[in-house]
């Protein structure tokens, strides 16, 4: 069993948590998030915090209790302050532009690659930097991974799309004799 679920999880100010048998919802100043709850998990909201417990003693229930505790903490953090990811394009001629609700990448292919921005995420583009922001940590991280997968950084020249702060291990090219 996770250590997170042994004590009640405190609720930050200006955040409201509501739990039903099958739904967990968190409301805050930036919006509302909801998630379906697995039947083996029991969530109770009290004045001292939110308690998460396993309904039975199965291995799945014990594992999911810690998972739902982490989801709840991320949801409470997201409705208070948005999650942010920054991606950087490196390479000669690589560029990105925002056209309405789409990001259009020109990254060395014979065609531009257009990715629709999902609902709940705001994107800002300046030169070769893409900033993604949203209240759902899972959604922001998944969309950032989709953007990075358009052209992952390669180890010889370092060209591609990488996260801010990501270190690309560089390889040495061919040696001439």
Name the band, by pLDDT with cuts 50, 70 and 90, for residue 173.
confident
Share of residues in the chain with pLDDT > 70 (%): 98
Domain 16-80 has CATH 3.40.50.970: no
Instruction: Tell whether the model's pLDDT for residue 10 goes beyond 80.
Output: yes
Please work out, in degrees rounded to the nearest 5, the angle formed at the alpha carbon of residue 120 by the alpha carbons of 29 and 8.
50
Q: Average model confidence (pLDDT) for the chain?
A: 92
What is the secondary structure of 77-118 as a DSSP string? HHHHS-EEEEEEEESTT-EEEEETTEEEEESSSSS-EEEEPP
**So what's the architecture of 83-163 in CATH?**
Alpha-Beta Complex (3.90)
Six-digit token string for 25: 């919802």
Q: Which of 34, 30, 28, 35 is CA-nearest to residue 12? A: 28
User: Greater confidence, 150 or 62?
Assistant: 150
The confidence score (pLDDT) of residue 7 equals 87
User: What's residue 176's pLDDT?
Assistant: 72
Would you state the pLDDT for residue 38? 93
Q: State the pLDDT at residue 177.
A: 66
Which 8-state DSSP code applies to residue 66?
H
What residues does CATH 3.90.930.12 cover in the chain? 16-80, 83-163
Average pLDDT of the residues in 42-62: 91
pLDDT digits (tens, 9 = 90+) for 136-157: 999 999 999 999 999 999 999 9
- In angstroms, how far is the first alpha carbon of the chain from the final one? 59
Query: For 89-141, how does the pLDDT look when each residue is reduced to its tens digit (9 = 90+)?
Result: 999 999 999 999 999 999 999 999 999 999 999 999 999 999 999 999 999 99
| In the predicted structure, residue 30 carries a pLDDT above the cut 90 | yes
């Amino acid at each position: 069993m996770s250590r997170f679920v042994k004590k009640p999880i405190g609720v930050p100010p200006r955040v409201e948590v509501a739990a039903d048998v099958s739904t967990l919802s968190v409301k805050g100043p930036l919006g509302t998030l909801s998630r379906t709850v697995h039947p083996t998990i029991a969530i109770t909201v009290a004045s001292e915090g939110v308690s998460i417990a396993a309904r039975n003693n199965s291995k799945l229930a014990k594992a999911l209790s810690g998972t739902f505790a982490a989801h709840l903490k991320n949801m409470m953090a997201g409705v208070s302050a948005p999650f942010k990811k920054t991606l950087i394009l490196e390479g000669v001629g690589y560029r990105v532009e925002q056209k309405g609700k789409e990001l259009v990448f020109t990254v060395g292919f014979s065609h531009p690659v257009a990715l629709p921005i999902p609902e709940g995420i705001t994107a800002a583009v300046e030169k070769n930097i893409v900033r993604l922001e949203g209240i759902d940590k899972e959604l922001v991280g998944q969309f950032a991974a989709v953007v990075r997968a358009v052209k992952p950084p390669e180890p010889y020249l370092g060209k591609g799309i990488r996260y801010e702060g990501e270190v690309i291990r560089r390889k040495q090219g061919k040696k001439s004799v």
